[in-house]
A and B are shown apart, each in its own frame.
Chain A
Amino acid sequence: MSDSESDANYFKEVVAEIEAEAQRRSSSGEYPRALLRSLDEEFRRWIPDASLENGVEDTIRSIESAAYVDPAVPINSKSPLGRCVKWTVRRLTYFYHRHVTQQITALGIHITRPLRLLDASLKSVNKRLAALEDRLDVDVSTRSELLSGITIPTSFEDFDGVLSQHFKQVSGRVLIGDLPNSRLLKNLRDGGVDAYGVTSSDAPTQEAVDVRHEHLFDHLGDLHNESLGGFILCGIPDQASINEQLRALRLLLLRSKPGAAVAVIVIHSETWTKRLSPVATDLLHGRPMHEETWSYLLNREGASNIRVVQSSDSSYCLITAIL
């Protein structure tokens, strides 16, 4: 037996021993089972298809755009004769190619139609599931009643400097939602930031600024992924259930580009408790989320430069980060 044959046999034996040992260690619990379980999950959550809110929508759009076949083949050529020949061939065969490509396009449409229906069903299920999750929380109308003691400040003047600085270099649109008033928006726009607001309030805005009067979730549902250069989330953290807060964050992160600047303005939990009646604090216990929780969630989603700034009266916190 040559040296290389002997080595090859030895290496094969070693591999067999390694496999057997790995099997033994896994079954004996020598490696923490939780770790082994978490490894797959940890990577899966980063796979684009698994994390995209609009994964199905995007896929259908790709199929639709690919399904359209253009029968007008290019006729560019280096020589005028070549171009002339190609044009003639195209002209003569156009009736045939158009017939074939129309059938292919029709097939594409027939394939995407059931996918569209499936997508609509999935969205409907998601919506109902979200509503169900909210119902398990304190009822929405009860929550508004209980939260009447909380008013969102008309301005966040303490944070003006930090916010202007944070969004100064941002490229792309910056969404502010749920917009408390147009002052914050105007301030950012005056600083050169391409900001716009979204508010569920019907109250008209005084200044000529870009404000959409619709529910934040509806607006986010209509946006494309990675279309925002940044966002400021306010109001929602003080008024919404935990499910809604998490959903708002998840949607905002999906709609933001990598490198987007983000900010969350959240009422300090002690202030929140002080401003509410004992009934409300009991029934809404645990809301809003602490600034540490927002920082943790942002960190978990891969954000960097996470900073927390307190307002001068310590009633509000501003959490800023870069995605």
Chain B
Amino acid sequence: MRWSAIHQFVPSFARGDAIGNHVAFIKDHLRSQGCDSEIFVGTNNDETSAETIDLQNIDRYVRPGADTLFLYHVAQASPCAQVLLERTEPLALVFHNFTPPEVLLRWDPSVAFELLRAQDQLADLVERSSFAICDSNFNAQVLSQFGDIDSFVIPLPVDAPAGFESSSGPAPTVLFVGRVAPNKGIHDLITAIAVLKQRIPEVKLRIVGASTSDRYDQAIEGLIRNLALSEAITMTGWVDDEQLEREYRQASVFCTLSDHEGFGVPLVEAMARGIPLVSYATTAVGETVGEAGLVLASKTPTVVAGALERVLTDDLLAERLCASGRQRSSTFSSEKIATALNQTLLGHPSS
């Protein structure tokens, strides 16, 4: 069945984050295909309110009985879930996965309990939904634990920027991009840098991304200070797109030791820019990186430091990683993702 409208629902909408970019991409693509598409939000964001519609106003935009599909992006608990459970329109899920609550329990118990609530909501949503789109096979596997549902794996779109040129400075720079949160393993990266400095004293680490946990933030700052790495490590906090590009340009190697990734947009962004990649093999990281990076089975500081040192000192290895990464990232081009969306959303039979 061809839907005349496919509306998306998200807890909140922000430009620049992985889910926000994905939502905007789907909306633009659907509209380009002649399909009506709006973004409904549970919580309004002043910066994007012109692009979204408050969930409370849903009846003003959705005609009863029309060929309308609702797409709900699942990443946290939201009032959207309750509203969608009560509606009669066909529903599909876009599953971005949750941070495992047990990882956050020590740091932010309230966030961990919210995630448990989100898991409860997901079980109900799976029962109510016709099918799901998952960012990765790993996500599809996780979703299947919440009930039987047809899942289609469609990664997030990431395009290589035009005219990207690396301009790394004299000091070798390790880059991490992502949220500063306990499950991202930033403390592991810092301890690895402490070891790496024994071999490459001038090495720098840049941690680019906003913090979502004050306690973890304090722990990271304390760790950096106690290991006397204040000069070597910079935490930039949230950056805009322009600054993010500068960070990528200055990077010699990208490293993530995250314990949980449902996909890993920054990994693809780094590969698309030809930045050599060192990562820890966990959750969806392996399938996102494919065979285009150094994927470590252990994140012991000595092993990570060894891997970073090798990439920073072995030009041949770095070049092969760059080329492989670029090739791998083309798998996630918006063109390919749009084709997959067409097959799944616009060619999918009505339930």
Contact = CB atoms under 8 A, between A and B. Distances in A.
A42 B225 CA distance: 10
B300 interface: yes
A262 to B, nearest CB: 15
B218 A258 contact: yes
Contact of B198 (A17, A31, A42, A49): A31
A57 interface: no
A11 B293 contact: yes
Contact of B106 (A18, A21, A35, A48): A48
8 contacts: A18-B294, A18-B303, A19-B306, A31-B198, A43-B187, A46-B219, A62-B109, A258-B214
A89 interface: no
A278 interface: no
Contacts of B107: 48
Size range of the chain A interface in the assembly: 20 to 34
B294 A15 contact: yes
B225 A7 contact: no
B227 A42 contact: yes
Contact of B222 (A26, A49, A302): A302
A167 B305 CA distance: 44
A143 B337 CA distance: 76
Main secondary structure of the interface of A (DSSP, over half): helix
B219 A35 contact: no
Interface in B61-87: 86
A305 interface: no
Contacts of B205: none
B348 interface: no
Interface in B316-351: 317, 320-321, 323-324, 327
Contact of B324 (A7, A23, A48): A7
A96 interface: no
B106 A25 contact: no
Contacts of B291: 4-5, 7-8, 11
Given A43-B187, A47-B219, A49-B106, A35 B306 contact: no
Interface string B297-315: 1101111011100100000
- How many chain B residues sit at the interface, stated as a range, is 35 or more
B214 to A, nearest CB: 7
Nearest to B323: A7
Given A7-B292, A15-B296, A35-B198, A22 B303 contact: yes
Interface string A293-323: 0000000101000000000000000000000
Nearest to A32: B198
B306 A48 contact: no
B219 A11 contact: no
A23 to B, nearest CB: 8
Contact of A36 (B109, B302, B327): B302
A279 interface: no
B317 A14 contact: yes
A10 interface: yes
Given A15-B295, A15-B307, 7 more contacts: A19-B306, A42-B191, A42-B227, A46-B222, A46-B223, A258-B214, A258-B218
B225 A19 contact: no
Contacts of B194: 35, 39
Interface string A141-173: 000000000000000000000000000000000
Contacts of B321: 11
Nearest to B188: A43
Contact of A31 (B195, B297, B323): B195
B221 A48 contact: no
A153 B327 CA distance: 74
Nearest to A46: B219
Contacts of B219: 43, 46-47
Interface in B219-261: 219, 221-223, 225-227
